[in-house]
Amino acid sequence: MKFDTSIFDTFAQIRSQQQNRHAELLAKYETKYKGNQQTPGAGGSKPVTDPQKPPVNDSGQSTTPPLKADFGNMSARQLQQWLQRSLASGKVPADQESVFKTLIYSATSGEAKNADKLVSFSEKAQEALQSAMRRKDSSSMLYWAHAVKTMKQYQGEPWQTK
């Protein structure tokens, strides 16, 4: 019984530390960002940038950093866009298109409303590979192993500007 209460106390301490850290970060955010905001439309001045165009530097190049492939935290829509660009550029062979389409479909359950939900596609592919290994299905193992290899190869690589 004493062991259970000490674990409870330890968890309570951890939770308290997390809450304190959260409050600390929130306070920093509020002072840094919310204090600098001005009311839109106040002052009558013209905006510095056009919201329809990405910000540019003096030489006219976009200052918005490109999106990087993060298969561990990506929406189905982003994976679809990455796949289209990768197929067009030849990074991904056409025979691997179906595995990524399978991942996209599994993430959305066939419904467009789920297309912007963030999913760990690398985890889904790993699980599918492990399932194929348990079944001793060599063709599925190869199918999913290529997908995992491709994701690892292009993880973190820039693929699109915002």
> Where are the domains positioned within the chain?
2-28, 66-161
Residue with structure tokens 């760990």?
120
pLDDT at 134: 93
- pTM (predicted TM-score): 0.57
Q: What region, left, alpha or beta, does residue 60 occupy, with left being phi > 0 and alpha being psi -120 to 50 degrees?
A: left
Tokens of 137: 């299905």
Beta carbons of 83 and 96 less than 8 angstroms apart: no
- Per the document, the length of the chain is 162
Helix (H) or strand (E) holding 158: strand 158-161
pLDDT at 161: 45
Per-residue pLDDT of the chain (162 residues; tens, 9 = 90+): 455 566 666 666 777 777 777 677 777 777 766 655 554 444 555 555 555 555 555 665 555 556 788 888 888 888 889 999 889 988 888 888 999 998 888 888 767 777 888 889 999 999 999 999 999 988 888 989 988 999 898 888 886 644
Task: Give backbone dihedrals phi and psi of 17, rounded to 5 degrees, phi first.
Answer: -65, -40
Beta carbons of 107 and 124 less than 8 angstroms apart: yes
pLDDT at 34: 60
